[in-house]
Amino acid sequence: MQRVIYLSLFVLLLSSCTCNRNKNQPKKEIEVKQSEVKVKIHRFEEDWYAMNPNNIENELHQLKAKDPLIFNAYYNYVMDFPRMGSEAEQQQIITDFITKPQMRGLYDSVMKKYPNLDFLEKELTDAFVNFKSYFPEKPIPKVYTCITEFAGFPAFTYGDSLLGICIDDYLGPKYIYYPNFFYDYQLYSLDKPFITIQAMHTLATNTIDAPAAQSTLLDKMLVYGKILYFVETMLPKEKEANIMRYTPQQYKWCEDNIKQIWGHFLEKKILYDTKPEYIKYVEEAPSTYGMPDSSPGRVGAWLGWQIIRSYMKNNSNTTLKQLIVNKDSQKILELANFKP
């Protein structure tokens, strides 16, 4: 069976009270005990930077033999070295990658900030206890960290077998080189509190089908809403603003203006429009198209999340799996009884 790699290109991640949220969680298929799940993180960046640059061909063969799963995902898909030319050219690029001062500096920065990942193993274990409770038939993927030099996605999956975390994307918003690779509005979430959230978001995109090319804006909003609801379900104690990757002020803006946000979509009569450009309502941006500059980006995704939450609250017998496969957006909206 051909493996498919899913790269989380859109980063949807969230600060509000979580006191009553557990009451609205969908029913679990089975109860999984904490002792039944143990996540061990494999630090691929350590193996990668330990290679001898003077014997790079042999070192690559040994690294591939040691763990072909992560090697294939990282080498052929994440970094896509084969597109860079012949084997000799690829090997020279890799030699530069592990010897150039700026790359060694990046590795050193990662190891200084994250000398161990015990905290992350604990967070991911808690999340996968929930994941296994809702998807008992699915395997818990092996988890790896790696360095990609800010390749454009903070985490990735490789089929159901592997979850990769690009650990160099979490060095803190003030990391000196981030402004060369990221926009100002992206910097806030490039930090430790968002690693597990983004890992679960990436897992969600591997579980929930992306909206079709000709889908309506409502379809897009609800797909993104399902992704956020998935993350919330895996991390029920997480702050809502962090799940959205919003600052507390940005999340409050959405809460304070929910009537106006919903009114915007109704008055413009665009919920059922299939124009491709309406993806900008759910995509990352400094602010949301058609709304005040004070708005955060992805407000359409946030609103989709609120509709999904209302739907699950008012249809409490619906399982998470049933929600995911339900593509009847109009029916979901009707049964959500969403009234801001």
Mean pLDDT of 158-164: 95
Band of residue 82 on the pLDDT scale cut at 50, 70, 90 = very high
In the chain, pLDDT over 70 holds for what percent of residues? 93
- How many structural domains are present in the chain? 2
13 in any annotated domain: no
pLDDT at 21: 52
pLDDT at 333: 98
pLDDT tens-digit readout, 274-310? 999 999 999 999 999 999 999 999 999 999 999 999 9
Which residues are CB-contacts of 95 (< 8 A; sequence separation ≥ 6)? 53, 56
pLDDT at 93: 95
Per DSSP bridges, beta strands 5-7 and 41-43 are unpaired
Q: Are residues 62 and 166 in the same domain?
A: yes
102 in any annotated domain: yes
For residue 155, the SS3 value is strand
| Distance (Å, whole) CA 207 – CA 329 | 18
For residue 143, the SS3 value is strand
Q: Are residues 330 and 228 in the same domain?
A: yes
Q: Judge whether residue 203 has pLDDT over 60.
A: yes
Q: Judge whether residue 11 has pLDDT over 70.
A: no
Q: Which residue among 205, 228, 260 closes a domain?
A: 205
Q: Are residues 159 and 276 in the same domain?
A: no
Q: Are residues 299 and 227 in the same domain?
A: yes
Instruction: Tokens for 326, please give them.
Output: 């339900």
Q: Which residue among 177, 205, 233 closes a domain?
A: 205
Sign of CA dihedral 10, 24, 333, 249: negative
- Name the residue range of residue 298's domain: 217-336
Instruction: Judge contact between 161 and 5, C-beta under 8 A.
Output: no
Q: Judge whether residue 17 has pLDDT over 50.
A: no
Q: Is 214 exposed, middle or buried (0-12, 13-18, 19+ CB in 10 A)?
A: exposed
Q: Are residues 242 and 136 in the same domain?
A: no
Largest CA distance in the chain: 65
Which residues are CB-contacts of 289 (< 8 A; sequence separation ≥ 6)? 280, 281
pLDDT tens-digit readout, 39-78? 999 999 999 999 999 999 999 999 999 999 999 999 999 9
Q: Are residues 201 and 315 in the same domain?
A: no
Instruction: Tokens for 84, please give them.
Output: 């860079």
Shortest CA distance to 261 belongs to which of 225, 285, 230, 289?
Answer: 289
Mean pLDDT of 16-38: 77
Band of residue 13 on the pLDDT scale cut at 50, 70, 90 = very low
| Distance (Å, whole) CA 233 – CA 235 | 5
pLDDT at 23: 57
pLDDT at 24: 73
Q: How far is CA 32 from CA 130, 202, 256, 308, in A?
A: 7, 22, 38, 25
Q: Judge whether residue 9 has pLDDT over 50.
A: no
pLDDT tens-digit readout, 245-261? 999 999 999 999 999 99
Band of residue 22 on the pLDDT scale cut at 50, 70, 90 = low
Q: Judge whether residue 94 has pLDDT over 90.
A: yes
pLDDT at 66: 96
Shortest CA distance to 79 belongs to which of 4, 167, 162, 147?
Answer: 147
Q: Are residues 90 and 198 in the same domain?
A: yes
Q: Are residues 63 and 174 in the same domain?
A: yes
| Distance (Å, whole) CA 283 – CA 147 | 25
pLDDT tens-digit readout, 205-252? 999 999 988 899 999 999 999 999 999 999 999 999 999 999 999 999
Q: Are residues 188 and 285 in the same domain?
A: no
Q: Are residues 150 and 181 in the same domain?
A: yes
Q: What is the mean pLDDT of the chain?
A: 92
Element (H, E) at 163: strand 162-166
Instruction: Tokens for 85, please give them.
Output: 């030319």
The arrangement of strands across the sheet holding 142-146 comes to 5-7, 155-158, 162-166, 142-146, 41-43
pLDDT at 253: 98
Mean pLDDT of 25-40: 94
pLDDT at 141: 97
Q: Are residues 35 and 175 in the same domain?
A: yes
14 in any annotated domain: no
Per-residue DSSP letters for 67-133? -HHHHHIIIIIIS-GGGGSSHHHHHHHHHHHHHSHHHHHHHHHHHHH-S--HHHHHHHHHHHHHHHH
Band of residue 16 on the pLDDT scale cut at 50, 70, 90 = very low
198 in any annotated domain: yes
| Residue 121 CA to its chain's centroid (Å) | 17
